[in-house]
């Protein structure tokens, strides 16, 4: 009954929330006309899903597999991720063209990632799991909390993803009326972005091609809840900074940096920096007219 209350309340919350996708140009070069001292050198189309390749396996039982991590790329270090969900109205899919590697000692979430076991069971590190901000079991001392995983009674996405005993996992599909979710509570330390403004949502090991769409509830800048529906096929794209520079010998307003005679021609390309006298000499001494022989006439 409690699970149904959580999902129902969450579905109502999702329905009221807006979608956000904000990006702005910036320039980190102090020599540019549009220099912004707060620039980080480029812009991500955040929020978005960032897919990182952790390891390409070429030996042992994992030979031919690749381990990926899927992150929620936040816009701000003060954003907070609280849940990933799906239902009939907003389906969630996390898929591969083959299957997902599941270690016998692992689990559907990062809670089963016990570092004390990694030495004797190194392949456990590459287990496939979902999470919110954790790559191993939560540390209560650090204010972390393991995510709660909730399936629909008629659509057990947890068992499909991790059947147990090391059996390969299949796609996560959450698209029925009740829906499913993995979540933490607002304020749990692992919901905040790391130093790169990322929150880990899943680790996936497969020899297939990843795909799918995740619905992420988060709190932009710690404010009102928002929902972002993000596709793995349209992962984060980095837009290089767009700096603008003045023309050669000019400032950003189009004025010459050097124009001693104020003739609107920059000194570096000016044929005469100064005045041309009556016989065509730059800064010459003939200030009067010339005769028909081109000789300066001085009264």
pLDDT tens per residue, range 107-158: 999 999 999 999 999 999 999 999 999 999 999 999 999 999 999 999 999 9
Choose among 195, 199, 196: nearest CA to 219. 199
196 and 88 in one domain?
Answer: yes
pLDDT of res. 221: 93
Lowest mean pLDDT among 51-55, 194-198, 293-297: 293-297
pLDDT tier for residue 267 given thresholds of 50, 70 and 90: very high
Domain boundary among the residues 200, 215, 240 is at: 240
Task: Say if residue 292 is in the same domain as residue 169.
Answer: no
Q: Which residues make Cβ contacts (< 8 Å) with residue 34, sequence separation at least 6?
A: 25, 27, 242, 243, 244
State whether 142 and 13 are in the same domain. yes
Q: What confidence category does residue 29 fall into, taking pLDDT thresholds of 50, 70 and 90?
A: confident
pLDDT at position 117, please? 97
The answer on 295 and 180 residing in a single domain is no
Does the pLDDT of residue 161 top 70, yes or no? yes
Q: Are residues 160 and 280 in the same domain?
A: no
The predicted structure's pLDDT at residue 176: 97
Give pLDDT, residue 14: 39
Q: Are residue 43 and residue 178 in the same domain, yes or no?
A: yes
Q: How many domains are there within the chain?
A: 2
Q: Of 211, 240, 269, at which residue does a domain stop?
A: 240
**Lowest model confidence (mean pLDDT) among 43-57, 141-155, 220-234:** 43-57
In this structure, the answer to whether residues 179 and 283 fall within a common structural domain is no
Output the pTM of the full model. 0.69
Structure tokens that stand for 162 in this block: 């991790």
The domain boundary residue, chosen from 240, 260, 287: 240
Q: What is the mean pLDDT of residues 68-80?
A: 96
Kindly state whether residues 122 and 267 are assigned to the same domain.
no
Same domain, 233 and 264: no
CB-based contact 211:96 (threshold 8 Å): yes
- Residue 277 and residue 208 share a domain: no
147 φ, ψ (degrees, to nearest 5): -65, 145
**173 and 251 inside one domain:** no
Q: In terms of domains, do 9 and 120 share one?
A: yes
Give the CB-side neighbour count of residue 35, counting CA atoms within 13 A: 9
More confident: 5 or 172 = 172
pLDDT band at 9 (very low <50, low <70, confident <90, very high): very low
Q: How many residues comprise the chain?
A: 299
Quick one: 253 exposed, middle or buried, by C-beta within 10 A (0-12, 13-18, 19+)? exposed
Count the helix, strand and coil residues of the chain and give each as a percent rounded to the nearest 5.
15, 30, 55
End-to-end CA distance of the chain: 113
Least confident interval from 142-151, 154-163, 228-237 = 228-237
The residue range of the domain holding 77 is 2-240
Residue 299: band (very low, low, confident or very high) from pLDDT cuts 50, 70, 90:
low
254: left (phi over 0), alpha (psi -120 to 50) or beta: left
């Amino acid at each position: 009954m409690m699970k149904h209350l959580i999902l129902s309340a969450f579905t109502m919350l999702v329905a009221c929330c807006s979608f956000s996708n904000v990006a702005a140009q910036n320039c980190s070069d102090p020599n540019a006309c549009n220099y912004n001292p707060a620039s980080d050198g480029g812009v991500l189309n955040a929020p978005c899903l960032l897919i990182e390749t952790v390891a390409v396996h070429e030996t042992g039982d994992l030979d031919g597999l690749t381990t990926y991590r899927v992150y929620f790329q936040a816009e701000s270090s003060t954003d907070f991720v609280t849940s990933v969900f799906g239902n009939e109205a907003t389906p969630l899919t996390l898929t591969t063209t083959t299957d997902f590697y599941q270690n016998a000692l692992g689990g559907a979430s990062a809670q089963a990632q016990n570092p004390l076991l990694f030495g004797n069971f190194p392949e456990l590190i590459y287990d496939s799991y979902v999470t919110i901000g954790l790559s191993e079991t939560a540390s209560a001392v650090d204010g972390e909390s393991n995510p709660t995983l909730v399936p629909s009674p008629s659509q057990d996405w947890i068992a499909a993803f991790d059947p147990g005993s090391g059996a390969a996992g299949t796609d996560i599909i959450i698209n029925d009326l009740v829906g499913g979710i993995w979540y933490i509570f607002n304020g749990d330390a692992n919901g905040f972005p790391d130093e790169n403004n990322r929150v880990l949502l899943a680790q996936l090991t497969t020899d297939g091609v990843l795909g799918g769409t995740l619905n992420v509830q988060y709190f932009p800048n710690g404010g009102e809840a928002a929902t972002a529906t993000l596709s793995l096929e349209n992962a984060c794209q980095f837009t290089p900074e767009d700096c603008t520079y003045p023309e050669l010998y000019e400032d950003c307003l189009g004025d010459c940096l050097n124009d001693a005679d104020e003739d609107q021609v920059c000194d570096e390309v000016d044929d005469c920096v100064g005045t041309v006298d009556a016989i065509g000499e730059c800064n010459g001494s003939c200030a009067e007219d010339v005769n028909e022989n081109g000789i300066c006439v001085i009264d």
